[in-house]
Structures are given as structure tokens and as C-alpha cells.
Amino acid sequence: MIALAWRNLWRQGRRSLISLIAVAIVVLFAVLMYSMAGALTNGMYADLTKEVGNAQIHTADYRNARNFSDGLLDNATEIRDTVASTAPDAVVVGSLQVPGLLAGEDRSRGLAVQGQDWPELLREDFVTDYLAEGTFVEGDNISGIMLGQSLATALEVGLGDDVYVYAPGTEGYGAAAYTVEGILDFEDPRREINAAYLSLAAAQELAAPDALSRLELHYPDINTVKEDALIVPDIAALQNALGESTEVEVWRDLSPGLATMLNFLAPMMVIMSLIFFVLAGLLVLNTVYLSTLERIREFGVIISLGAKGRRIMGMVTLESLMMCLTGAAIGLAIGLGLIALGSNGFTMPGYAVEMMAEVGLPTVMYLSIEPWQILLAVGFAVLTAFFAALGPARMAANIEPAEAMRYTA
């Protein structure tokens, strides 16, 4: 039966080949889209969590704090101890954001100056990725500042120049002068124009001795959205241990827009691939229908020899299925090969990479695909085969042998 179906398939070889290639291309597109969605999701997740942590600890209702002091964690040491015992795998980063006025000799800009401590892991990445000139401002340096390149340009300052931070209404000195020691180059221009980094000690001296705006929890071994589920028990235990005066938020709370977008990304790709399969299905339908029409007499003979309608339907459907599965196998083989190549990371060519960075997309993407996504693509190909064969198969099954003998294509 299979050999017969295969032979029938190639009676009009060119037509079948076109349909088979169409299915192969659609399966190839489908697996590449699924893997690209995975790469984007994991890339954006990795970029976001690298910058803000997998979770953050704030004072309760910190988003509505209208005064600088209302948003401060005054018991930071105690919280650090609780984190160390409850979430031992997390690398903890203390951060203090000081709203104020940053001024050069003649120009000034209102922004939030950030002070934070830098565990070795984050420090190395930060220096490699962003430090364009000068030196990194270490933890014990209370006189240096690092500025985004465009911020330095806006303030008309460079390495070695002094800048002045004025932060009235805070609990520290409220004003201080710093020397520009590092220039930072960020891909995101909005981040670069607002980037002013002090050491945590300097920021605390300026605005809030011993206090923090937030504690970030970075999990170095958690790199994908799927793995992120592993930290959920830690977060629940931490919130329980810290009580209601503090708020533990995961990256989905910190960036709800991105979380929603990522939730929609995979379903969107599935819907898009479904549309492609429908289009390929029309081509397959055409091939199977024409092939059935051309063999009306043949089917009449088979039926007159005693074949049941179900068997005729099976023959037509099997031909369609073999065509689609062969196409799917070819598309899958090429697609998985490309995914294997892209799994080590790739960058879009030319200006595309800059555009991606500007809109917050990851510049290096790592292709990956889940087994269920491969099954989904194959499943769509099988469904395409069935639906494309349905009409022609029923037509062939209902042929009257006497009429079939009179039929001329």
C-alpha cells in the first residue's frame, strides 16, 4: 500500500515535488520561528535579569512613595542576612538611587544617580560590556563617578573633569563633587543619557547613610525563562520571612510589559506558522485533487473489483500524508541543522543589530527549540495532509464504476 502510494505520488513528479517543497519550506519556517521566539524570549530574559536581577526587594508600596526617604530600606543588613539564609544561591546586590541634579561647569540635568555594590560576576560583565574609557569606580572609591557617554557629552565633561550632584531633601550631605573616572557606552540611548554610577558608599554618604533603595537577587545559573521557575520557592519563602513591610518582586512584576510580550511571543509564532500551513495546504489540496481527477477511471476499476470506499479514501489520504511527511522531514532536517548552528549564538548583520539594541532586543541570540515545538510542526504537517486529502478522497470513494468508465479528464 505504501509502495503504491509512493509510486502514485511520482506519476506527476513535478507537481508533487512543488507541493513537497512547499511543505518543507513551511516546516522549516515554523521550526525557525519557534526557535527564534525561544531565542528572543531567553535573550530578553537574560538581558533584563542581568540588569535588574531575577528578583528585587523593596519597601512595601515603594512605587507610591512620594518622598525619597519613604522608599528606603533602612534595615538593609538584616534583610541581607535573611536573604543569605533563605535564598543561598542568589548573589545579592545593594543599590541606592538618588534623585537629584547633576551638573558640569555650565550644564546640568535632573536624573537619578545610582550607587551600587558590584559582586565580581556583575562587575566583570559591566566592565566588558559598557566601560568605554577610563576606569571602573570601585566600592571604596567615594570621589569617582562613571557617566554614560551621551550624558557626559550633554554636560560637556570628560574624563578627569568634576561634576556636581545636588540632592536636596535627602538624609546625607545632599551635595557633593565627583571626578569623572569612567565613560560608559550603552546600546540603549535612553539608558546612556541617564547613566551616572557612584560606588554604593559614595551614594549613601550623599543621600542615605546605611540605607538602600533596593536589593537585587541575581541567580547566575538561571539563564532561561523555563529555568526561572526554579526560583519561585525561594521568592515565596523570602517574602514570608521578610514580612509585609517589604515587597519581593520577580522580573515579571518589575517589567510587566516585557513579561506580557514574552507570554504572547510563542502563541503568536504558532498562529503565524498555522497560517503558513494553511497556504501550503491549498497547494497540497490542488496536487491531490488533480491527481485524483486524473485517476478517476483507475479508481472506478478498483471499486468495480470490490474495493470498499474506505480503502479508496485511505489510498488518497496516504499519498497526501506521504507527500507532507516527506516535506516535513526535509524541512525539519534543514531547520534543526540551522538551529544547531545558531545555538552557539549569532548576531544580526549590519544596522539590524543596532536597531535591535535600540528597541531593547538582545543583540546576540541563541537558537533553541523544545521537543513539543518539533512535534507541533510535524503535527501541523499531518493535519495539512489530512485536510487536503479529505475532499478528493471522498470524491474518489464515491465514484460509480460505470460513470468512471465514461469519464474523460
Where does this chain bind another protein (CB under 8 A)?
64, 66-69, 99, 101, 103, 106-110, 164, 166, 168-170, 173-177
- Angle, CA of 108, 111 and 114, to the nearest 5°: 120
Shortest Cβ 194–another protein spacing (Å): 12
- Closer Cβ to another protein, 164 or 289, answer by number: 164
- Closer Cβ to another protein, 106 or 140, answer by number: 106
Shortest Cβ 173–another protein spacing (Å): 6
- Closer Cβ to another protein, 163 or 269, answer by number: 163
CB atoms within 10 A of CB 46: 17
- Closer Cβ to another protein, 172 or 314, answer by number: 172
Give SS3 for 163: strand
Phi–psi pair at 102, nearest 5 degrees: -110, 125
- Closer Cβ to another protein, 115 or 392, answer by number: 115
Question: Cβ(350)–Cβ(42) under 8 Å?
Answer: no
Shortest Cβ 96–another protein spacing (Å): 16
Grid cell 560608559 — which residue? 184
Distance of CA 119 to the CA centre of its chain: 26
Shortest Cβ 136–another protein spacing (Å): 25
Shortest Cβ 207–another protein spacing (Å): 11
Q: What is the largest CA-CA distance in the chain?
A: 103
- Closer Cβ to another protein, 61 or 400, answer by number: 61
Give SS3 for 262: helix
The candidate with the shortest Cα–Cα distance to 374, out of 317, 331, 319, is: 331
Question: Cβ(178)–Cβ(144) under 8 Å?
Answer: yes
Shortest Cβ 61–another protein spacing (Å): 11
Could you please report the per-residue DSSP string of 5-46? HHHHHTTTHHHHHHHHHHHHHHHHHHHHHHHHHHHHHHHHHH
Output DSSP code: residue 90: P
As a whole number of angstroms, the distance between CA 394 and CA 391 comes to 5
Shortest Cβ 183–another protein spacing (Å): 21
Helical ranges in 94-217 per DSSP H: 120-130, 149-155, 189-193, 200-207
* Cα→Cα distances 348→25, 319, 355, Å: 22, 40, 10
As a whole number of angstroms, the distance between CA 215 and CA 238 comes to 12
- Closer Cβ to another protein, 156 or 294, answer by number: 156
- Closer Cβ to another protein, 176 or 396, answer by number: 176
Shortest Cβ 391–another protein spacing (Å): 57
Shortest Cβ 325–another protein spacing (Å): 58
- Closer Cβ to another protein, 101 or 336, answer by number: 101
